[in-house]
Amino acid sequence: MRSDRNSRAPLALKIAAALGLLFLHLPILLIFVYAFTTEDRSFQWPPPGYTLKWFAVTWNRPDVWEALGLSVRVAAISTVVALVLGTLCAAAVSRTKFFGRETISLLVILPIALPGIITGIALRSAFNLADIPFSFWTIILGHATFCVVVVYNNAVARFRRTSGSLIEASMDLGADGFQTFRHVVLPNIGTALLAGGMLAFALSFDEVIVTTFTAGQQATLPIWMLEELVRPRQRPVTNVVAMVVVLVTFLPILAAYYLTRDGDQIAGSGK
């Protein structure tokens, strides 16, 4: 029974893998417990009691709503910019062979490969040199720059799997460039773009390092949280916000996972 033997893992390996996964997930779950604690001065464990009142308190905090609103707007616009730029780049790189393709891939990946502080300080000093005042749009400028790569990666992977003859077939059947894009290219890369867009949204929504350099007086939700971490004002509110952020970011990531997985199946069945 060869397959039996292969499918049974050594006990030590099982334990090490399980401990590793627990290490990854327990701390996040702990946040959920703290969101209900009655203690508001320290991080006391175990919590002396449980209450729902901090949800109401958080709900009535205008600064949290403002930060959340700003984060959503920044993430949405950055995602749109990243979708356009990333798709254009991916299409150019995968459809045509031209001099400098490798350079373009490197250029797209660079903003995320270099530490965020470098991107942040570079943009900040450039804004200073160019006398650009910090605003909503300077945040977008920074976020879109590092969001391009996730869209690009997803789109390039899908383009690679999509047979080039599909485009030729569409043109052969009378569709011009725009019609081919609308009826063949877009439906085939759609889920990959959606997944890339969701990841870009999650990335932007959560970004703090570059944002600290490119934001003026505005506080996105991560900036708000960082303020609370450095100079705590009302700890329970931070606990609740942290829990909400976890839940909000999980949804697009799960959706992106299922979208690209389904995409694989579609591409696989086409062969």
Partner 1 sequence: MSAGAHAILPGRGGLFGTLSDVLWRNPRLTLFLMLTPPLLWLGIIYLGSLFALLAQSFFSIDEFSGLIRYEWTFKTYAELLRPSNLDIILRTVSMAAAVTLASAVIAFPIAYYAARYARGKWKALFYLGAMLPLWSSYLVKVYAWKLILAKEGILTWIFAKLHLTPVLEAWLALPVIGGNSLSVSYTGTFIVFVYVWLPYMILPTQAALERVPESMLEASSDLGGSPAQTFRHVLLPLALPGIIAGSIFTFSLTLGDYIIPQIIGSSRLFIGQAVYAHQGTAGNIPLAAAFTVVPIVIMGFYLWMAKRQGAFNAL
Partner 2 sequence: MQTAVAFSRVSRHFGAVRAVDEVDLAIAEGEFFAMLGPSGSGKTTCLRLIAGFEQPTSGHIEIFGETAEGVPPYRRNVNTVFQDYALFPHLSVADNVAYGPMIRGVPKAERLKAAEEALALVRLPGYGDRRPGQLSGGQRQRVALARALINKPKVLLLDEPLGALDLKLREQMQEELKALQRKLGITFVFVTHDQGEALSMADRVAVFNHGKIMQIGAPEEIYRAPRSRFVADFVGSSNVLPPDVTERLDGRRAWASLRPEAIRLVSEGGVEAMVTGHSYLGAATKLGVFLGEQRLTVLLPAGSPVPAQGQMVSIQWNPADLHVMEDEQ
> Does 84 help bind partner 1 (rule: CB under 8 A)?
yes
Closer to partner 1 at the Cβ: 114 or 169?
114
> Does 175 help bind partner 2 (rule: CB under 8 A)?
yes
Q: For residue 37, list its beta bridge partners.
A: 50
How far apart are the C-alpha atoms of 235 and 40, rounded to whole Å? 6
Q: How far is the CB of 19 from partner 2 (least distance, A)?
A: 42
Residue type, 34: Y
Closer to partner 2 at the Cβ: 44 or 179?
179
Helix (H, G, I), strand (E, B) or coil at 89: helix
Closer to partner 1 at the Cβ: 115 or 216?
115
Closer to partner 1 at the Cβ: 56 or 107?
107
Residue type, 141: L
Residue type, 50: Y
Q: Which stretch binds partner 2 (CB under 8 A): 25-33, 65-73, 161-169, 247-255?
A: 161-169
184 binds, among partner 1, partner 2, none (CB under 5 to 8 A by kind): partner 2
Q: Which stretch binds partner 2 (CB under 8 A): 28-36, 110-118, 146-154, 168-176?
A: 168-176
> Does 117 help bind partner 1 (rule: CB under 8 A)?
yes
How far apart are the C-alpha atoms of 152 and 105, rounded to whole Å? 9
**Phi-psi region for residue 156, left (φ > 0), alpha (ψ -120 to 50) or beta?**
alpha
> Does 239 help bind partner 2 (rule: CB under 8 A)?
no
Question: Rounded to the nearest 10 degrees, how much is the dihedral formed by the CA atoms of 251, 257, 262, 268?
Answer: 170
Touching partner 1, residues 157-186 (CB under 8 A)? 174, 176-179
Closer to partner 2 at the Cβ: 188 or 214?
188
User: What sign has the CA pseudo-torsion 124, 130, 131, 132?
Assistant: negative
Q: Which stretch binds partner 1 (CB under 8 A): 54-62, 155-163, 184-192, 198-206?
A: 198-206
Among the residues of 96-234, which ranges form H helices? 101-113, 116-129, 136-161, 165-172, 177-180, 186-206, 209-214, 221-230
Closest by alpha carbon to 264, among 181, 154, 169?
A: 154
Q: Which residues bind partner 2 (CB under 8 A)?
A: 163, 165-166, 168-176, 179, 183-184, 187-188, 266-267, 269-270
